[in-house]
Structure 1
Amino acid sequence: MTLRRVNLVILVLLAVAFLIVVQRNLLNLSDFLHKESPDAGLILPFESELSLDLRRESGRKGEEIPVLITAAEDRLGAVVAAMNSVYQNSKANVVFTIVTLNDTVGHLKMWLSKTSLKNIKHKIVIFKPELLSGKISKDPQTLEAAKPLTFARFYLPAYIPETEKAIYLDDDVIVQGDIQELYETSLKPGHAAAFSDDCDSASAKGIIRGAGNQNNYIGFLDFKKEAIKKLGMRANTCSFNPGVILANLTEWKNQNITQQLEHWMELNTQEDLYSKTLAESITTPPLLIVFYKRHSAIDPLWHVRHLGNTGAGNRYSAQFVKAAKLLHWNGHYKPWGRTSSFSDVWDKWYIPDPMGKFSPVRRHS
């Protein structure tokens, strides 16, 4: 046998060996995926879990619409109702990113896998509370508002890294319109986010007397503090509600929005910059500062608010609530509780907990 033939044989044997190795690796991967139940999902490097049902629905095509929502253990029923309303009212290719804590994952996966939501496209991401170390006050009066998951919206690009745009939703919402319409809202050049202003005609109907200046900046920030004065912001500027955010993640990253938000969080722990009449959420003030006159607008019907405030929801007519694209029960009274307005609307989208841990509290109970 000539040297040339020997070399050819060696090359053929090497090629065969390579193909065998590739085949074994593919088989091992296949075995791994089969061992993981469809409910468990595929473990991704950054501690998230991706549902395996991503190609199951032929009726949902087109560009993916990323929607991020947080899932706290004591509010899982809210998350399920919100996701169900988005899913059922749109034919769009919606992919949910659900940000939660380690101790909630099992309950959440069970709820999704054992109900009509089993086919939704989703990934579960674990929030790391240590991200907030040194960034939030330990004042006992603000501990309730400082629950870790409320800050997940500050880190949108980290949880949805490969997309241009994304939607963030609070868990106490119900979506009645097609989410694609919200997603296609235009953002002005250079704007990293769009919000619904608190002075718009829809939300202004729900402002409550005696609840503080919840519709302008002075209701959230202490304008006597030097750090706030230096910004040159007008105290009567209309505020916005960050319970619904349409984000341009490319601009978010380019402008270092997350780092800016963290800066103001840290500064507040040192100088106490927030207003003493602070309305509801301590996540709002840093956003108001960073996005001052640098955000686009969301159609008011895509964020009808104040349904969770005493008496405010009752100012809306049944016809107006029906026409709203998105309803938000911001405030103390939630639709899974006893005293909320329009809880019957929320009930339409709620899916009972297969583990029986969560159940709405109703007046007749």
Structure 2
Amino acid sequence: MLTFRAILFFSVCLLFFPTNAIRSLPIKVSSIGYEKKIKDESFMEFSEAPEYRNQEKCQLSLIHVAMTIDWEYLRGSVAAVHSVLKHSSCPENVFFHFIASDSRSEHDNDFAKIVQSAFPALRFKVYLFRESLVNNLISPSIRQALDSPLNYARSYLADLLDPSIERVIYLDSDVVVVDDIQNLSTVPLTGSRAVGAPEYCHVDFSRYFSDQFWSNPEFSDVFAGKRPCYFNTGVMVMDLVRWREGDYTREIEKWMEIQKQRRIYELGSLPPFLLVFGGDVEAIEHRWNQHGLGGDNVVSSCRSLHPGPVSLLHWSGKGKPWVRLDAGMSCPVDHLWAPYDLYKHYDHLRNAGTIDTLHLGL
């Protein structure tokens, strides 16, 4: 666990460490930045991360972490993995489950090669998510990016992962972890709760659903006797045994079917989670999801960290740190992400001294 000042100091120190030898793997990718478009002919190459080893006290138990993986967020995914390993007391115990879309299934082996090149000792598996499971259930939302079928893969982890896996941490690809992931993995889920996440009860929960939803007891009674709070589904601890027992994937699908017919919400994959779990989430400390660092869904807006200690930083919103850094339009918090970036092209920015601490108020 790090305070904001500690993170800043730690980040600045890391910028002066030499990078390891590079295991290059050219992969085509397209990405759109501010005024700049990287064409399909460009390549992504990642440096090999340092080798992170277990401390002597480590037990044999595995910590399972699930993430989606695609071309647009690949750079973020690699940085997220790097951050988890760097701060883990037992990095060799962390097993990553990467979920890729079957819409470009010819590339699932490419993802495996990329991950292997950056983290040769990493324990991981790449799964294919069948988009057909949700294609007919997705309703248009207020932002096209929210309509990607892969956004809904987190609802199917209990089906995708081996039945022997009882608990998993789900992470979005635009996060970095600056605390020991083991501290998150051991959070107790009390009672019959299947999901744990930081809750934000000061947020107006009603705004996540339409007037038609709240005026119809057939829908709104789902929260009867509960105190539902907003939670961000980009960071969750999930008990897959309880999830399977509750058949929660089917419950989420039922609400998506209602949405197709009645239009009861606007925000993609989040509202079905709120409908199924709102008021019955294990509240985890806010340090585990400093979300919204990507701005208030406005590319050019900068957000500061929330007050209090920080264990995980989350660039939810439109502004992604790798895009803003490359465009020379970074926010101060983006410099906390940069030390975990293994993208080879970014080395020239470090070497040229483009990344500095001038914006950070040190």
On whether the aligned pair clears a TM of 0.5, the verdict is yes
Q: Does 1:342 pair with 2:342?
A: no
What's the CA shift for 1:250?
0.8
Question: What is the number of equivalent residue pairs in this alignment?
Answer: 283
- Tell which structure's C-alpha radius of gyration is larger: 1
The one-letter amino acid of 2:264's match is: L
Residues 314, 118 of structure 1: alpha-carbon distance in 2 compared, 3 angstrom cutoff:
same
Residues 191, 312 of structure 1: alpha-carbon distance in 2 compared, 3 angstrom cutoff:
farther
Corresponding residue for residue 270 of structure 2: 284
Corresponding residue for residue 24 of structure 1: none
Residues 184, 140 of structure 1: alpha-carbon distance in 2 compared, 3 angstrom cutoff:
closer
Coordinate RMSD, CA, aligned: 3.1
The one-letter amino acid of 2:152's match is: F
The one-letter amino acid of 1:100's match is: A
1:112 and 1:149 mapped to 2: Cα distance?
19
Corresponding residue for residue 217 of structure 1: 205
What's the CA shift for 1:162?
1.3
Corresponding residue for residue 69 of structure 1: 67
Residues 156, 245 of structure 1: alpha-carbon distance in 2 compared, 3 angstrom cutoff:
same
Aligned match for 2:201, one of 199, 202, 205: 199
Structure ranking higher on relative contact order (CA contacts 8 Å, 6+ apart):
2
Corresponding residue for residue 274 of structure 1: 265
2:227 and 2:240 mapped to 1: Cα distance?
29
Aligned match for 1:112, one of 105, 115, 119: 115
What's the CA shift for 1:216?
3.1
What's the CA shift for 1:236?
8.6
Residues 140, 163 of structure 1: alpha-carbon distance in 2 compared, 3 angstrom cutoff:
closer
Corresponding residue for residue 314 of structure 1: 304
Are 2:185 and 2:237, in contact at CA under 8 Å, matched by a contact in 1?
A: yes
The one-letter amino acid of 1:62's match is: L
The one-letter amino acid of 1:186's match is: P
The one-letter amino acid of 1:99's match is: I
Q: Does 1:97 pair with 2:97?
A: yes
What's the CA shift for 1:132?
0.7
Residues 162-311 of structure 1: pairs in structure 2 closer than 5 A: 162-199=164-201, 215-225=203-213, 226=216, 227-233=218-224, 237-275=228-266, 278=267, 282-310=268-296
Are 2:76 and 2:174, in contact at CA under 8 Å, matched by a contact in 1?
A: yes
Residues 269, 84 of structure 1: alpha-carbon distance in 2 compared, 3 angstrom cutoff:
same
Are 1:87 and 1:120, in contact at CA under 8 Å, matched by a contact in 2?
A: no
1:220 and 1:243 mapped to 2: Cα distance?
16
What's the CA shift for 1:293?
1.4
What's the CA shift for 1:154?
0.3
Corresponding residue for residue 145 of structure 1: 146
Corresponding residue for residue 76 of structure 2: 78
What's the CA shift for 1:106?
4.0
**What do residues 96-117 of structure 1 show as CA deviations (whole Å, max 9, x unaligned)?**
00001224424423322222x1
2:302 and 2:225 mapped to 1: Cα distance?
27
Corresponding residue for residue 18 of structure 2: none
**What do residues 261-302 of structure 1 show as CA deviations (whole Å, max 9, x unaligned)?**
011111101111104xx4xxx111001010121111111111
What's the CA shift for 1:140?
7.6
Are 1:195 and 1:297, in contact at CA under 8 Å, matched by a contact in 2?
A: yes
Are 1:68 and 1:168, in contact at CA under 8 Å, matched by a contact in 2?
A: yes
Residues 96, 283 of structure 1: alpha-carbon distance in 2 compared, 3 angstrom cutoff:
same
TM-score (norm 1): 0.70
1:312 and 1:234 mapped to 2: Cα distance?
38
1:289 and 1:140 mapped to 2: Cα distance?
17
The one-letter amino acid of 1:122's match is: F
Residues 13-24 of structure 1: pairs in structure 2 closer than 5 A: none
1:347 and 1:76 mapped to 2: Cα distance?
15
Are 2:168 and 2:238, in contact at CA under 8 Å, matched by a contact in 1?
A: yes
1:237 and 1:291 mapped to 2: Cα distance?
8
The one-letter amino acid of 1:314's match is: S
Structure 1: give runs of 5+ residues left out of the alignment. 1-38, 40-55, 201-214
What's the CA shift for 1:313?
2.2
What's the CA shift for 1:68?
0.2
What's the CA shift for 1:146?
1.2
1:57 and 1:236 mapped to 2: Cα distance?
43
2:160 and 2:142 mapped to 1: Cα distance?
30
